[in-house]
Amino acid sequence: MPDGTQTAFGASHWGAFTAEARDGRLVGVAPFEKDPSPAPFIRALPDAVHAECRIAAPAVRKSWLEGGPGANTAARGSEPFVQVSWDHALDLVAAELERVRKEFGNEAIYGSSGWGSAGVFHNARSQLTRFLNLHGGFVDQVTSFSVGAASVIVPRIVGSMQPVFGPVNTWPSIVEHTDLMVAFGGMPPKNAMVNQGGVGAHDAPDWHRRAAESGTRFVCIGPIRDDTGDEVRAEWLPVRPNTDLAVMLGLAHTLLSEGLHDAGFLARYCTGFDRLAGYLLGEADGTARDAEWAAGISGLPADTIRDLARRMASSRTLIGVSWSVQRADRGEQPYWMTIALAAMLGQIGLPGGGFGFGYGAMHGIGDPTRQVAPPALPKGKNAVGATIPVARLADMLLGPGAPYRFNGEDRRYPDIRLIYWCGGNPFHKHQDLNNLLKGWARPDTIVIHEPWWTPAARRADIVLPCTTTLERNDIAASQFDRFVVASRQAIDPVGGARNEYEIYSGLAERLGLAEAFTEGRSEMEWLRHLYDLYRQRVAGDGIEMPGFDAFREAGYFEIPAPASPPVPFAEFRADPEGAPLKTPSGRIEIYSETIAGFGYEDAPGHPTWEEPAEWLGSEKAVRFPLHLLSNQPRARLHSQLDCGSVSRAAKVAGREAMRMNPADAARRGIVDGDVVRVFNDRGACLAGAVLSDAIREGVVELATGAWFDPVDPAAPGSLEKHGNPNVLTSDKPTSTLTQCSAAQTALVEVERFEGEPPAITAFTPPTLIEA
């Protein structure tokens, strides 16, 4: 190698790689040799790590530094920052934590995090939670944007989250046993490129191909055809968005009315089917939820629905539902009905049959792995104990003390004075960003750890620059991946960036918590400790991992697949009395007395169809006749690496690409490459038009993650010029029961943008002043 050139093996959310650095600068990355289908995102690492928008030094918003906590909070996002020393920045953060704790209590501190970087030690959530818990606790978040409604409903119906996070029916089992896989929302190949704990080998495309070659037939029920990969050769049923539940009910009615349901299974393993049967037949209200009824709602022909039901009954059928389906108004209902529909088929607990959620939602769902959870940094106990559903952030900030109901509990929102955020970007994942901006101005202080000047960092008060995965050592591991990777530091931290462990250690020292936080361990000592815990854990499964030093030298360890793939609910099927589910009845709760007892108008005791707040069959569709789907992007993970070359190359006219059907475009005089204005009553953004017949008429697709870039960065309602769809999505909760994100329930209109579009400034750092 040339002088000054070094290589280091590492891992990230989007894949393992070998990084090449020259004279302290990252110059290239090569994918892991054992990865059959590497994600393209890793090519963006060199330019992203050294991007213009890297944060070079700790920075404090000018008004906050001059006026103290609460000063001119409405100017967040538009003000300059003053660069300060690390000692000064840490002194400010420690003093503010103490002020809020003493004056308002720890209940006034909200801590939140996201995916951060892949690794068991430098995990954003673990580090933040451990530190804030030692400081007396904080208001935490429950549920998630990924599977929020599912995390509430699925355990109530089958007693655990196994159908969501696994083990689900694995691909070897599908290849061998499944005749028909019905995928509501598809199995998007792009989503299977990423995993929070890291990815060693992207195996999904190969498994999909093998399943198709083995004779498994696939049906994709969703508005986007390429939500299943070409290799599965799926039959596409292009439904209206948010009507999956109606289709499921129509399928169930056909099974019931034609005697194709498994009455014996329902009697032995389920409770409450008679209530759902009465609803399907319309016994109370005279409305039968039959195929004709479902056709009128979904847009699918009634004969297509009946034919599919008959095929499902005559085949070993696996029902798969994407995570996106439950991110909609009353999103828990189609998940509940999925379980009921699978129970009617009577194949739950059989290899290759039943149901599973999230195939294609994230790398590794369905892969034949051991499902051994890697160790994590101990978080300690949160003395506050208060939580909010993560999607209710704006409600909490705008309504301190306001009552709300969630999952059977009556609660009140806390009065938050300090937000501590790391490893995530709320201006990517939260709904109705114009509403969030109003709430964002309320706390006295916002502290953020970030490598880049993201939209969240630009709207903070104190910004602490942290390292990327290339600038630190860690262990990348996930229960969904067979590779454990020794991630090595490739370059020194860029600018003044520090590892978050180092940041929290400095704060802990100022607060008298240093010994408790560090336990006297360095970064490498923690890695050795956590690795030894992992080694002991897998030893119980008969797997012998090498010692830590040998592991580091080798770079990775491959955990062998289990000898036989697990079959979900097999023990329950074999002995429902001896291996009952963790539900009140011990059985599958098609009707839930518990949920019915909550008395929520929008969540009765069994799955029911109610019109979504916004959909193509509503009156609102007259003004806004296009349904917006804001899904996972193809060229990055969430908003990560949006500043990198791969994401920026995928934009159209410098803006996020928006796909629409050619017929919809023609009616509006829009052609490929046009800059378009996408709008509704909540806001407006600009995007670049891409025409495609892979998307249903009446639907537009604008992926999430374009860095929020309004014309006026601090003013709610200002035109967003970069293509962030969350200025358009609704902050309405999924339901009283689940209180999660319903971002996929949104109607918009699109028009060609006339004139010169405003310049993109998302990746330009704010004005910086040296102290």
pLDDT at 565: 85
Angstrom distance (rounded) from CA 583 to CA 157: 7
Reading the block at residue 626, the tokens are 């296009």
Angstrom distance (rounded) from CA 436 to CA 127: 26
Angstrom distance (rounded) from CA 313 to CA 512: 65
Angstrom distance (rounded) from CA 287 to CA 281: 7
Reading the block at residue 461, the tokens are 């008060």
Average pLDDT for residues 101-123, to the nearest whole number?
A: 93
Reading the block at residue 664, the tokens are 């919809």
| Statement: residue 453 has pLDDT above 50 | yes
pLDDT digits (tens, 9 = 90+) for 705-733: 999 999 999 999 999 999 999 999 999 99
Least confident of 57-66, 133-142, 422-431, 690-699: 422-431
pLDDT at 3: 59
Three-state SS for 102?
Answer: helix
Provide the sign of the torsion angle of the four alpha carbons 619, 620, 626, 629, taken in this order.
negative
pLDDT at 367: 92
pLDDT at 2: 52
The share of the chain scoring above pLDDT 70, in percent, equals 100
pLDDT at 90: 98
pLDDT at 114: 84
Of residues 738, 741, 740, 742, the one with CA closest to residue 406: 738
pLDDT band at 31 (very low <50, low <70, confident <90, very high): very high
Q: Taking a C-beta distance cutoff of 8 angstroms, is the pair 514, 506 a contact? A: no
| Statement: residue 771 has pLDDT above 90 | no
Angstrom distance (rounded) from CA 241 to CA 186: 12
pLDDT at 372: 85
Reading the block at residue 385, the tokens are 């104990």
pLDDT band at 539 (very low <50, low <70, confident <90, very high): very high
Mean pLDDT of the chain: 96
pLDDT at 456: 97
Average pLDDT for residues 120-125, to the nearest whole number?
A: 95
Of residues 259, 267, 273, the one with CA closest to residue 341: 273
* 21-32: b (≥16 Cβ within 10 Å) or e: beeeebebbebb
Q: Taking a C-beta distance cutoff of 8 angstroms, is the pair 331, 196 a contact? A: no
pLDDT at 115: 81
List of residues 6+ apart from 306 with CB closer than 8 A: 254, 291
pLDDT digits (tens, 9 = 90+) for 226-270: 999 999 999 999 999 999 999 999 999 999 999 999 999 999 999
Q: Tell me the residue type at 123.
A: N
Reading the block at residue 675, the tokens are 């800059």
| Statement: residue 173 has pLDDT above 50 | yes
Q: From the CB of residue 604, how many other CB atoms can be counted at a distance below 10 Å?
A: 19
Reading the block at residue 212, the tokens are 């198709």
> Cis ω on the peptide bond leading into residue 389 (within 30° of 0)?
no
Least confident of 187-196, 250-259, 440-449, 482-491: 187-196
* 254-289: b (≥16 Cβ within 10 Å) or e: bbbbeebbbeebbeebbbbbebbbebbbeeeeeebb
pTM: 0.97
Reading the block at residue 399, the tokens are 């309504």
Angstrom distance (rounded) from CA 615 to CA 185: 16
pLDDT band at 1 (very low <50, low <70, confident <90, very high): very low
Strands (E), 325-417: 354-357, 387-389, 403-406, 409-412
pLDDT at 290: 98
Angstrom distance (rounded) from CA 123 to CA 422: 10
List of residues 6+ apart from 623 with CB closer than 8 A: 749
Q: Taking a C-beta distance cutoff of 8 angstroms, is the pair 716, 438 a contact? A: yes
Of residues 325, 316, 320, the one with CA closest to residue 360: 320
Q: Taking a C-beta distance cutoff of 8 angstroms, is the pair 92, 505 a contact? A: no
Average pLDDT for residues 655-681, to the nearest whole number?
A: 98
Higher-confidence residue of 373 and 297: namely 297
pLDDT at 564: 87
Of residues 282, 270, 288, the one with CA closest to residue 590: 270
